[in-house]
Amino acid sequence: MATLDWIILVLFLITLIGIVYWVVKHEKDDTSDYFLSGRSETWLAVGAAIFAANIGSEHLVGLAGAGAESGMAMAHWEMQGWMILILGWVFVPFYAHSKVFTMPEFLLRRFNKNASSTLSLITLISYVLTKVSVTAFTGGIFLQSVMGIDFWTGAIGLVLLTGIFTVLGGMKGIMRISVIQAPILILGAITILILGLLKLGDGSVVAGWAEMVHFTGDKMHLFHAKGDPLYDKFPGVSVIIGASIIGFWYWCTDQHIVQRALAAKNLNHARKGTIFAGFLKLLPVFMFLIPGMVAAALKAKGVAGFDFDSNDKAYGTMVSSLLPMGVKGIVVVGFVAALMTSLAAHFNSSATLFTIDFYKHYKPEASEHQLVWIGRLATISVVVLGLIWIPIMKGLGDVLYEYLQNVQSLIAPAIAAVFIMGVFSRRITPKAGEWGLIIGFLIGMFRLVIMIFKPAAFQWLLDINWLHFCIFLFVFTMFIMIVISFFTPPAPEEQIRNLTYRSQTPEQMKEIRESWNAWDVVTSLVVVGLCVAFYIIFW
């Protein structure tokens, strides 16, 4: 990076200080303001925050690396704008009417305390071991490949800077930086794609695309038949079913995504925010996955500067080799902001889970001031635990994004099944929700242990494709819940009122109907149509 690029980065840090100062000066000392931005955000901020919370270093590093490694295969996990619509149209009304801060709090009301505590524990563990650590780890790789910063300096500096920002700025600070960061990130990434294609095509974008397609070959397709080298990893149409299960867990039930929608001022802004996020979610394939494929083609062509030794360095190489002075600084600012926003989202969500679902439960008399400070201490704890875990993350394989989806395929099925059955069936009992979540999670963790230690006696379990196992675990958890419901008492009618399909009051149904209009329907259909078009083109 040139001097001008560093000056731009310093100006960005000054802007961060300004945002924190503004938030601290105007914040209210209460949990709604700190954790949910006072439920006052517009659709623009909500949509940008959902998108920003999703785009982390696992995209800049992992998704681009997956593109370089396996082509379009991982696009199933990115072409999920339609899934965000399900959050806004179907699930946000249930969450909003129950007035919850967290997803475990929703399970507490729908099922029981054990179900709530189990989900809190699962989520906190997954954040520390896969979200925070992986984001810091891959962030270190990105900063090293783009700015020449030592890996550990970059990783630790990113975590500490984001931790301080989250502790002081809370959700309001995260929402503000999201609005600033999103357009820079999108424009910068599209610029990199175009420059990469120009470089590959010797000055022609069309020729560059043709050369990339020729180099990638069968990897340009989303689905792979038996006999294809990628079939063992991504078997046929099973990939879209497995990706949808993981996608539903992530977009409709995961705390760090749903929390942004709950920060909206009303249902109308929450829904419009998810529609906006649905449009934005169409972009990462073109922002990161395809540039990774372009980087692999440039490396194969022998272009100077593209001699990266790991596919996870593909995107950083694109940034450092293709962008001119000044523009590089602006784009790096957008990417650093993206890393911070994603990491801050997990920090803030972890603090929310611990404060609301654990501390407040055992200290119901705690004041709003105490709860906010406990949230800050919880954030610091997650920062420390994330740093401790980073050395272990250095032992991961080359294709980090595939690893993340593999691990998430063990966590997602049980949670997805519990939420779907809990909302759409009044007959599912509290004990069924509790034990469905526990049994499904334990089965997933058992396979994870087998993956780590690889005992010969359980090789048959590892031979089951990870996506097939994900589908099985989802269906099995639902089956377990149905069976248990036959032998355990149902929840009282007053407990499930407003929390399940067809149990909402006429006033709430009227509020939902008045919260959308024809434009919301039309724009949602456009998102779905674009997703379908993508599948048709790259089938």
Looking at residue 37, its pLDDT comes to: 47
Looking at residue 183, its pLDDT comes to: 78
Looking at residue 271, its pLDDT comes to: 93
Which residue ranges in the chain fall short of pLDDT 50? Answer: 31-32, 34-38, 396-398
DSSP state of 29: S
Strand (E) or helix (H) holding 194? helix 151-200
| Residue showing tokens 């967290």 | 102
Angle (nearest 5°) at CA 477 between 446 and 431: 105
Spatial CB neighbours of 293, under 8 Å, sequence gap ≥ 6: 67, 68, 71, 212, 215, 216, 219
> SS3 of 381, please?
helix
Q: Give the number of other CB atoms < 10 A from CB of residue 92.
A: 23
- Counting Cβ atoms within 10 Å, is residue 498 exposed (0-12), middle (13-18) or buried (19+)? middle
Cα–chain center distance at 31:
23
Q: Mind listing the pLDDT tens digit for each residue in 299-318? A: 988 888 888 877 878 888 88
For 428, list phi and psi in degrees, rounded to 5.
-70, 125
Kindly list the domain boundaries of the chain, sorted by start residue: 3-8+38-537
DSSP state of 407: H
Cα–chain center distance at 64:
16
Which CATH number, 1.20.1730.10, 1.10.150.120, 1.10.760.10, 3.60.70.12, labels domain 3-8+38-537?
1.20.1730.10
Looking at residue 398, its pLDDT comes to: 46
Q: Mind listing the pLDDT tens digit for each residue in 466-511? A: 899 999 999 999 999 999 999 999 999 888 888 888 777 788 888 8
